[in-house]
Amino acid sequence: MKETKTTIKRSVIIAAGASLSSVLDKSHYERISILMPTAWTAADICFTVSDSLTGTFLPLRYADLGTIVYVKAAASKEIGLNGGIMEVVAAAPFIKISSDNGQGGAVVQTAERKIKFILMR
């Protein structure tokens, strides 16, 4: 029997005047592609993660360095996670996206932003 890969599409919302998204349940999916909205208040993105839907969400950090995992983001950009970033994000079943200045400071989005995800097993 030939193995098939299942792909699904999901999205999260960052509300106007906020910097943290709603929850993405990516349980059972490891590969992630992020589709940034056409309008985006300039900011990097980072991930907060939890082991449960209603649990405490903590910033995702590299274990060896203790630094927060940041990804360069821009409007209308597709971000395919790979390498070490993909591995650490893959381990978390529930994530939120945060718009950030790349130094741990929140960047408020001026309007509601819908961030789309393509998830693959």
What CATH number does residue 82 fall under?
2.60.120
Q: Which range marks the domain in which residue 40 is found? A: 7-120
Q: Is residue 1 part of a domain?
A: no
Tens of pLDDT, residue by residue over 58-104, are 988 877 777 888 899 999 999 998 887 888 788 889 999 999 998 88
Q: Is residue 87 part of a domain?
A: yes
Could you tell me the pLDDT band of residue 5, with boundaries at 50, 70 and 90? low
Residue 65: Cβ-neighbour burial (10 angstroms; 0-12, 13-18, 19+): exposed
Q: Is residue 78 part of a domain?
A: yes
The alpha-carbon radius of gyration of the chain (Å, integer) is: 14
Q: Is residue 2 part of a domain?
A: no
pLDDT at 104: 83
Is residue 6 a contact partner of residue 121, using CB atoms and an 8 Å limit? yes
Total domains, the chain: 1
